Structure formats: C-alpha cells, structure tokens
A and B are shown apart, each in its own frame.
Chain A
Amino acid sequence: MSLRLRLVTAFVLVTVLGAAAAAWASVTSASAALVTAAQQQLTAAVAAQISAIAPELTFPPDQDALDRLRAAVGPDTLVTYADLTSENGTINTFDLATVRASMRDTHRLAAQRVDGPWLLIGAPVVTTAPDGSRTPSGLEVYAARDLGPVDRQIDGLARDAARTAALALPLSALLALAAAGSVLRPVRRLRDTARRLAAGDLTARTVPRGADELTDLTVTINEMAGALQTMQADARRFAADVSHELRTPLATLTAVVDVLAATAGALEPDARESAQMAITEVGRLTRLVEDLVEVSRFDAGTAALRTEETDLVDMVRDCLRARGWTGEVELIAPSPVRTRADRRRLDVIVANLVGNALRHGRPPVRVRVAATAAHALIEVTDAGPGLPPDVLPHVFARFWKRDPARSRTPGSGLGLSIARENARLHGGDLTAADAGGGARFTLSLPLGTEDR
C-alpha cells in the first residue's frame, strides 16, 4: 500500500469514526430522552383517564363498571377486579406478570417496554380515605401502548446522523489528499534528486524548505552528495596527477627503448627477445598514460575542441588508410557528409571503433557514413559474437573488460570511454547495440554545427 493511500485511509478512518461516535452519542441520548418522554406521557394519560372516571364507578364494581372503565382507558386494555375481567384488543397477547408483580408490590404505576415495541402499563386503583390514607382497591388496569411512532422517530434520527457522518467521508478524503500531497511532495523531490545522483549526476541537489524531518533528510542527502562529489574530484585529481608524473620518466624510458630497438639486431637471441618485450610494454604503458591524461582532461573539463569544415567520408577514408585497414574494412558512403568537427578527435573515435571491430569481432567489418536531417551518422558493424544484453550497459565503462581472464589485450581499457567523451564534446553521442550477429556502434554528430 502506498504511503499516500495509507495516509488517506488513516485520516478518513479517524474522521469518520469520530463523526460516527459523535452521531452515535447524540442519537443515543436523544432516543433515551424521546423514549422517556413518550412513556411518561402514555402512563400519565392512562392514569388521568382512570382518575377521570373512577368517582363515577360503582364500588365494589360489577361487570358493567369494569366495561365502562375499560372503554374509558381505550384500546388494548384489561381491567380486573377479583374474579371479574374486562379486556379488548391485543392485551391478552402480552406477558403481564412482571408489571403485575411490581404494581402489587409498590402500589404505584408500573411500566415496561417489550418487543414490538410496546409499552405495558399497569395501574393499581387505590381507595383514598377522606383523611388521605390510601389502600389498594383490588381494581387493576393494564394497558398496552404502541411505541412504534417513537421507534420510527428514533430511526429517522439515526438515519440523519448516519448521513451526516457519511458526509464527513468525502470531505475528510479531500483534506487527507491535500495533507498527503504536502507530505509527499518533498519526498518526491528527494526521490528525483536521489535518482539523478544514482545516475551519476553528483551536482543534483534538493532545495530544503521548511523545518521538519523531511528538511533534515534533504540537508543530509545534499551533504552526502557533496561528500561524494569531493571524493570523486579527489580521485580524479589523483589519477591526473599520477598520469602527469608518469609522463616524464616514460619519455626518458621511451628514448632508451628507441636506442635499444635500434641495436636489438646485434644482441643475443635471448636478450633480443627480452628487449623486444620491453619495447612492447613501454609502448603499451605510454599509450595507457596518454589515455589516462586524456580522460583526466575530460573529467577536468579542459579538453578543447578545434573544429574545421570536414567531409566525414574523407576523414574516415584517411583514418583507415593511415592504419592500413583499407583492405579489411568495407566503407559504405554514398555521398559526402560535410560538417564542422575536430578531425583529430573523430579520427580517435573511428580508429577505436574499427580497431575494436577488427580485434574482437569478425569480418566483414563495415563502416557506413550517412546523414539524416539533423545528424551525421558513422556506423561501425562487424559479424562477430555481438553484444549480449548483460554486456551492453558496461561497454563504455572505464577499464571494463568483457573477459576478466583476458587481461593482456593491447588496449588500455579506456578506448570506448574516450571515444564517447569525444562524441559528447561534439554535442553528439556514441551508442552501442547488438545487431543480431555482430556489434554495432553508432556515432551521431549534430549537423547544425554553426549554431554551436
């Protein structure tokens, strides 16, 4: 369940329960008051009816007197005196034992609510002496009175209350949505920032607002991003410094190796082999350091772009010819594609892509130069094993090698990374894809170079 749903549910539940409890309390007290008033009124009415006719009754009463009294009290009435009874209506369907016991015990009016709902009223008629002393006369009146109207009135009250409580539901839902929104908006902003950080953009920050716990969290995440940025910058500066420091001794070493190469022919076969190995390794080391220096420039943002009007087809052809690959690579270029570009950097890209294709893929290696409305495209494909999905995300990573066991390849492990940095420096991009039976690398450069 999402946080928003949880917040809204809790809010709505609390509100509706509160409204329901309030409604229930008011309905309960109102219904109690209604019932009490109704039963007092009904009991008093029966007593008043008896009192009104009692002085006119013969006493001790005969059957006729009982019938008169019963008629005066109304429907659903039972009058008893000794063995005589007079009754009508539904009074004989009720159990009067409880009421009878109470009124004989207290000589006062007794009432009882029973299912129906009905009110059973028991009235003992007493004889009062002229001096005010009261004795039971033996005359007893029972009456049943319908409480249905009161019941319906209470039902109406309850319905109204339930409706009022239900009205609180949409209102509280709206309020809850607003409250949840105000809580979740900063959370969403934080999530976006965290995603940018995860994607490598360490400059991503969230502006902290307010003074709550989420603001604390925002500040903490900003500090974390700052720390990461510092660490990354430190690491890059260290790499740059190391590369620069290595350059000078390497230059010396290269010079020495050059001398060694010139005299290698005069050496013993064993020594010549060792010398040859040293020459190769120094060459690799030099390339690695040059690549590292180049990467440092990109990281530091100091790589400069020297653009000139270039025909990409010519450029690719020159690149292939300079490396002696013309025979091995098929160039497909129907027409010249002219744009402004840094020839040296494009040469690095194409050389890297084609070199990789020749080294890791299988022929035929094709280079296609084409143009769309907005972009110039240079596409390098081979017929090798291709790029499986688990490899694709990593091909541009620094020092990433597909097969960890194959560590002694001639490349520095930085080639594709540098190629993509070069493409991006042009405002373009370099993408890799599996062509289904080979790998395909596509370099796209924007054509509207004048605007840049």
Chain B
Amino acid sequence: MRRFLLIGALAVLLGGCGVRPSGVITTGEAPTGVAPGVTLYFVTEDGALAPQLRETGRLGTIPEALALLLDASPQDAGLHTEIEAHGVTRVVADTEPGLIILRLPLADYELTPRGIDQIVCTTLGVAIQRGEPRTTRVRTTFTLPTPASDPLRTCPLTGS
C-alpha cells in the first residue's frame, strides 16, 4: 500500500515535468506593414489637407515616402503642394519610442505651416501603417535653426 503511494507520488512528480501539448494561446497583436502603396498628403484649394495614394506596390520607409512627397506634384486637379521643390529630397528619420525626429533638407521659409502638416501627416501615416502606435509624435527640424523645430506635432487631419 505504502509502496504504491510512493510510486504514485514519484510518477506524478516525473509526469508533471516537461513541455506538454496545449490548446491555442492568443499571444499578441498581428504584425502589419503590408500596403499596396504609400499615402501622401496635399492641400486643397480651400487650404485643407487631402490624402492621395501613390501605388508604389509596397509601403516602404518614412524617408522614401517623404522623398516622394518633396519631389511630387499632385496628380489630381484642385490639389497642390506647399513645399518648395529644389531637387534635394534626402530626409533622415530618427525614431525614438513615441517620437520621430525628421531632419528635412529645407529651411523653414521654404514651406508653409500647411506644408509642415503635409510632411507630418505623410510621416505619421507611414509610421502607423508600419505598426507604430497612434500616439506617436513628430518633430521637424530644418536646415536653419528656427522655433518651428521645437513643437511635437500631430496630423490635424487624422488627429493622430
């Protein structure tokens, strides 16, 4: 009787070890980042922001999206860009948790505040599509020191 108890205890002890099969465990957010193209933001005639999808076949990175924006002219009638184009499109994007710092190849007089919104909305759009949280903020820095480099910006269109 005692012997059986002892053997039973040992069996439980050894049987309780190891990795055992389980049911399905739902563990986390699905990965994201696939998109048929990149969304750029332009300005309408009455001064509002408007998204426009460029079908590049993939989402790409923030510098790629901004390079497209800085070099682009809107394809739809009634839209225009408020960023002065001068051929230099290389943007550096540094990412910190919850914050993206853009180093733009522009001086602040080369674009309007709406132009800054175009850049911020395009940047945040790509960031969110790549899976960044909607609370991410953007700081735009320019080639010349300016107070416009200081604020943490959000996109007025999407509210994000």
Cβ A123 vs Cβ B31 within 8 A: yes
* Chain A minimum-CB-distance residue to B65: A55
Interface residues of A in 42-61 (CB under 8 A from B): 43-44, 47-48, 50-51, 53-61
Which among B13, B21, B25 is the interface contact of A20 at CB below 8 angstroms? B13
The distance in angstroms between the C-alpha atoms of A169 and B30, with both chains bound, is 52
> B152 on the interface (CB 8 Å rule)?
no
> Given A132-B160, A155-B18, is A55 in contact with B26 using a C-beta cutoff of 8 Å?
no
Cβ A102 vs Cβ B24 within 8 A: yes
> Given A59-B57, A113-B19, A130-B128, is A43 in contact with B28 using a C-beta cutoff of 8 Å?
yes
Cβ A55 vs Cβ B33 within 8 A: yes
> Given A58-B58, A154-B19, is A106 in contact with B26 using a C-beta cutoff of 8 Å?
yes
Q: B1-33 toward A: CB 8 Å interface, digit per residue (1/0)?
A: 010011001101110111111111111111111
Cβ A130 vs Cβ B131 within 8 A: no
The distance in angstroms between the C-alpha atoms of A108 and B24, with both chains bound, is 11
Cβ A56 vs Cβ B18 within 8 A: no
Q: Which of B34-42, B71-79, B81-89 contacts A (4 or more CB under 8 A)?
A: B34-42
Cβ B28 vs Cβ A51 within 8 A: no
Cβ A57 vs Cβ B31 within 8 A: no
> B105 on the interface (CB 8 Å rule)?
no
> A329 on the interface (CB 8 Å rule)?
no
Cβ B2 vs Cβ A55 within 8 A: no
> A375 on the interface (CB 8 Å rule)?
no
The distance in angstroms between the C-alpha atoms of A50 and B18, with both chains bound, is 30
The distance in angstroms between the C-alpha atoms of A54 and B107, with both chains bound, is 33
> Given A17-B9, A51-B130, A132-B128, is A112 in contact with B34 using a C-beta cutoff of 8 Å?
no
Which among B13, B35, B126 is the interface contact of A59 at CB below 8 angstroms? B35
Q: A9-27 toward B: CB 8 Å interface, digit per residue (1/0)?
A: 1000100110011011001
> Given A17-B9, A130-B51, is A108 in contact with B19 using a C-beta cutoff of 8 Å?
no
Query: Chain A residues near B5 (CB, 8 Å)?
Result: 13, 17
Please report the number of residue pairs spanning A and B whose Cβ atoms sit closer than 8 angstroms.
180
CB distance from A396 to the nearest CB of B (A): 51
* Chain B minimum-CB-distance residue to A69: B34
The distance in angstroms between the C-alpha atoms of A286 and B33, with both chains bound, is 132
Query: Chain A residues near B39 (CB, 8 Å)?
Result: 130
The distance in angstroms between the C-alpha atoms of A132 and B135, with both chains bound, is 10
> B125 on the interface (CB 8 Å rule)?
yes
Cβ A56 vs Cβ B60 within 8 A: yes
Cβ B27 vs Cβ A110 within 8 A: yes
Query: Chain A residues near B61 (CB, 8 Å)?
Result: 55
Q: Which residues of B contact A (CB under 8 A)?
A: 2, 5-6, 9-10, 12-14, 16-36, 39, 51, 57-61, 121, 124-126, 128-131, 134, 158, 160
A and B contact pairs by CB, cutoff 8 A, 11 listed: A47-B30, A47-B31, A50-B31, A54-B130, A59-B35, A59-B59, A102-B24, A108-B28, A112-B22, A128-B130, A132-B134
Q: Which residues of A contact B (CB under 8 A)?
A: 9, 13, 16-17, 20-21, 23-24, 27-28, 31, 35, 39-40, 43-44, 47-48, 50-51, 53-61, 98-99, 101-103, 106-115, 117, 123-132, 134, 137, 139, 141, 147, 150-151, 154-155, 157-158, 161-162, 165
